[in-house]
Amino acid sequence: MNTQDQEQGCAGCKVKATPKWRQDFPIEWEGDHYVTRREMVKFLTLGSLLLAAANWATVVASKLLHRGSHLERNIGPAASLQQSGSSMLFRYPTDTDPCIAVRTPEGKLVAYSQVCTHLSCAVVYDKAENGLFCPCHHGLFNLAGQPIAGPPTRPLPRVQLEQRGDQLFAVGMEVV
Amino acid sequence: MSERAFYIDYSRCIGCQSCVQACAECDTHRGVSLIHLETIQRRESVQTAPQVCMQCEDPICARVCPADAIKKTADGVVQSSLKPRCIGCSNCVLSCPFGVPKYQVEIDQMMKCDMCYDRTSVDKKPMCATVCPSQALTFATAEEIQRTRRGVAINRWKFGNEEVTTKVFVIVPREVERVNVELVQISPTPSALAPDPYDVALMLESVE
């Protein structure tokens, strides 16, 4: 629009420079696609912060979820585990968490979560190997809970046992 | 040889609808024809006129878009509305002096001719110009037009007091320098009315 026509056609209005809001919403394609350095730095900074926060949140959530347990629970009479090489299944800390207690050939009483750390199959006591055997993928844990064969790489969570009179109590669970 | 440009020669139009069909066959908006084939004074004449987007230098459709959905490329082609932004308000439809943008109810979005940007940006003819049997729609160089046409190609228009310069040319008789379109006044101009204190455009203009 030339100036003369503008004066004729719009006597009251002034010729104005591009208003600020128009600079933020340019009509030109390249202006619309333009990313300022400040916007870029802001995006990178906030993005990095968000990523870091998400990582920390994951760590905290994981710690909270795997806190272990300090519940006390009667798991049965001690007499059922008197013989060395015998084992007993129980649930701890809740009814949905299967565990296994074993009297080792050395006479020690140990207990672990029965859930294999590979793909969550139930491990059983294998007398011949003297360890906890997972039949799904032939994983084997020794009686210290450490993986010694097969796919599992993490040790089994250990359950702490206590004998009170003739009864056995599970008193805590350690997550490694 | 100069760059090819789009020329419309309304007087050559024979109303065959080829351009309408070809436009609907374009891959970027298959099935929807974005060209207008207007009849001129139907009672007196069989004359028709094709209307593609004139690609204004200062596109009023983009200026009035409240959703920032219409963009102009560096080579001066005004694109169809951006799907994620268009709110289907039809401001552009009402504002365009050539009546080009079309509001598509089915998809609640405005679509307009973008001079077949996928083709013309690689120097191919737009779909309508490839099929026009009378070459009323032509994609050619200025030299070719000078050599083959009687009229002269211009790209300046005046609608009431608004002067518009377009990227697309029209062929007019030699004595014409600018196409003047008189407006029919049907209601008072905004300047004759009391200013609206809630006019968002005025509020925005007062922002420094």
pLDDT score of A170 more than 70: yes
Mean pLDDT value of segment A136-153: 94
Q: Kindly determine whether residue B208 and residue A28, on different chains, have CB atoms separated by under 8 Å.
A: no
pLDDT of residue B8: 96
pLDDT score of A23 more than 90: no
DSSP three-state, residue B104? strand
CA-wise closest residue to B113 among B122, B101, B105? B101
Residues of A in contact with B158 (CB under 8 A): 5
The first and second tokens of residue A4, run together, are 């003369």
Mean pLDDT value of segment A10-31: 74
- Catalytic sites of A, residue numbers: 118, 137
Question: CA angle, corner A89, sides to A83 and A95, nearest 5?
Answer: 150
pLDDT score of A117 more than 90: yes
Say how many C-beta atoms besides its own lie within 10 A of residue B124's C-beta.
Answer: 14
Question: CA angle, corner A44, sides to A40 and A47, nearest 5?
Answer: 135
Residues of B in contact with A2 (CB under 8 A): 163
Going through chain B in order, the beta strands assigned E by DSSP cover 5-8, 36-39, 48-51, 102-104, 109-111, 137-140, 152-159, 162-172, 179-181
Number of Cβ pairs closer than 8 Å across A and B? 43
Starting at the edge strand found earlier in the chain, the sheet holding B137-140 runs B137-140, B5-8, B162-172, B152-159, B179-181
How many Å lie between the alpha carbon of A54 and the closest alpha carbon of chain B?
Answer: 29
Residues of B in contact with A17 (CB under 8 A): none
Query: Nearest residue of A to residue B189 by CA position?
Result: A10
Tell me the residue range of the domain where B176 lies.
5-206
Say how many C-beta atoms besides its own lie within 10 A of residue B40's C-beta.
Answer: 13
Q: Kindly determine whether residue A30 and residue B74, on different chains, have CB atoms separated by under 8 Å.
A: yes
Q: How far apart are CA B86 and CA B143, in angstroms?
A: 39
What 8-state DSSP symbol labels residue B58?
A: S
Task: Indicate left, alpha or beta for A63 from its phi (over 0: left) and psi (-120 to 50: alpha).
Answer: alpha
pLDDT score of A147 more than 80: yes
pLDDT score of A19 more than 70: yes
Q: Kindly determine whether residue B68 and residue A1, on different chains, have CB atoms separated by under 8 Å.
A: no
Mean pLDDT value of segment A85-89: 90
More reliable by pLDDT, B66 or A5: B66
Going through chain A in order, the beta strands assigned E by DSSP cover 73-77, 87-91, 98-103, 109-113, 124-126, 131-134, 139-141, 147-149, 158-164, 167-174
CA-wise closest residue to B114 among B73, B152, B84, B159? B73
pLDDT of residue B83: 93
Task: Give yes or no for B42 touching A (CB within 8 A).
Answer: no
Query: Nearest residue of A to residue B208 by CA position?
Result: A20
Give Cα A104 to chain centroid, integer Å: 32
Q: How far apart are CA A77 and CA A137, in angstroms?
A: 33
Q: What is the mean pLDDT of chain A?
A: 86
Q: What is the CATH number of the domain that holds B182?
A: 3.30.70.20
Mean pLDDT value of segment A26-51: 93
The pTM for the full model equals: 0.61
| ipTM value for the complex | 0.73
Write out the residues of chain A at the interface with chain B, using a CB-CB cutoff of 8 A: 1-2, 5, 8-13, 16, 19-21, 25, 27-30, 32
Residues of B in contact with A28 (CB under 8 A): 71-74
Structural domain total, chain B: 1
Question: Looking at this protein, which amino acid is placed at residue A43?
Answer: F
What 8-state DSSP symbol labels residue A28?
A: B
Give Cα A65 to chain centroid, integer Å: 7
CA-wise closest residue to B56 among B106, B125, B115, B10? B115
All residue ranges of chain B with pLDDT < 70 are: 1-2, 188-191, 208
The first and second tokens of residue B30, run together, are 């298959």
How far from B76 is each of A23, A30, A148, B73, CA to CA, in Å? 18, 11, 71, 5
pLDDT of residue A4: 45
